[in-house]
Amino acid sequence: MSRNADLAALVRDRAGAEPPELGLILGSGLGHLAGAVEGVAIPYADLPGLPHAGVSGHNPQLVIGQLEGRRVAVFGGRAHYYESGRADAMRPALELLRDLGCERLILTNAAGSLRPDIRPGGLMLLSDHISFAGTNPLIGEASDARFVPMTDAHDPDLRTALKSAAAAEGVALPEGVYCWFSGPSFETPAEIRAACILGADAVGMSTVPEVILARFLGLRCAAVSVITNMGAGLSAEAISHEHTKAMAPLGAAKLERVLRRLLRQS
Ligand code: HPA
């Protein structure tokens, strides 16, 4: 039995065999959403291969159970490229999701906005992304499956469902392009100006490798940013991880309403 099959067997043993209908990966300051799920929480430390999720503001456990009457698998924290230099650090988590029979995934993150109409405390649905980190989680993958098409990587049906859930909740959910910078330093104002010229609407340090891996593994995915600040140089406000963690709960409350509505509607 492969290591991944072992992992799925371990999770089924503890949380039951029914496939999750939706997977969720929670970003910085958003990990508490895992607490809303009625189910079994398994610390990443019990799941060999899963990241240690060493960034404060993350909640390193997998919770499988019911949210709004639907079976979900929620990863309370993620590993970032900047923690280890490995862009594929979330691959075991995504493979686990696939092995559990889950076919849909929603990724969340904290991000800086480049658009005056998308303010801190608001949400942005990713319509597409730009990878600006100079790496790819599939480097080293030997199979031809590595040549993953990235057109409609952000699943149109899932995005439509999210927009309809947001509208029903009265939550603004503009769409925009997310630009992945490696971090961990924040961007310079010149980099933010460059990202604007390139067509980005928000910047962040995660999510893009997971979208690539999800498409590689055949999972349909969409991603939502919780805007915690304006990009460097676009406002007088100082940018810091503390600020990200302090601001994330504002958007997280809206995100939770949208996700709950999505589950009730689907
Ligand atoms: N840049 C990159 N990542 C972020 C930001 C930002 O401004 N805000 C929250 N995560």
Instruction: Single out the catalytic residue among 36, 82, 103, 169.
Output: 82
pLDDT tens digit sequence for 247-266? 888 899 999 999 999 999 98
Please indicate whether residue 129 is annotated as part of the active site. no
pLDDT tens digit sequence for 97-106? 999 999 999 9
Asked whether 93 and 20 are in contact (CB, 8 A), the reply is no
Asked whether 213 and 92 are in contact (CB, 8 A), the reply is no
Please indicate whether residue 52 is annotated as part of the active site. no
Q: Strand pairing of 22-25 and 70-75?
A: parallel
pTM of the model: 0.96
Q: What are phi and psi of 51, to 5 degrees?
A: -70, 160
pLDDT tens digit sequence for 144-178? 999 999 999 999 999 999 999 999 999 999 999 99
Q: Which residues line ligand 1 (CB under 6 A)?
A: 110-112, 181, 186-187, 203-205, 228-229, 231, 239, 244
User: Structural domains in the chain?
Assistant: 3-265 (3.40.50.1580)
Asked whether 131 and 48 are in contact (CB, 8 A), the reply is no
Please indicate whether residue 28 is annotated as part of the active site. yes
Supply the pLDDT for residue 134: 95
Instruction: Single out the catalytic residue among 166, 206, 222, 223.
Output: 206
Instruction: Single out the catalytic residue among 124, 129, 229, 248.
Output: 229
Rounded mean pLDDT, 118-135: 97
Residue whose token pair is 């490696």 = 182
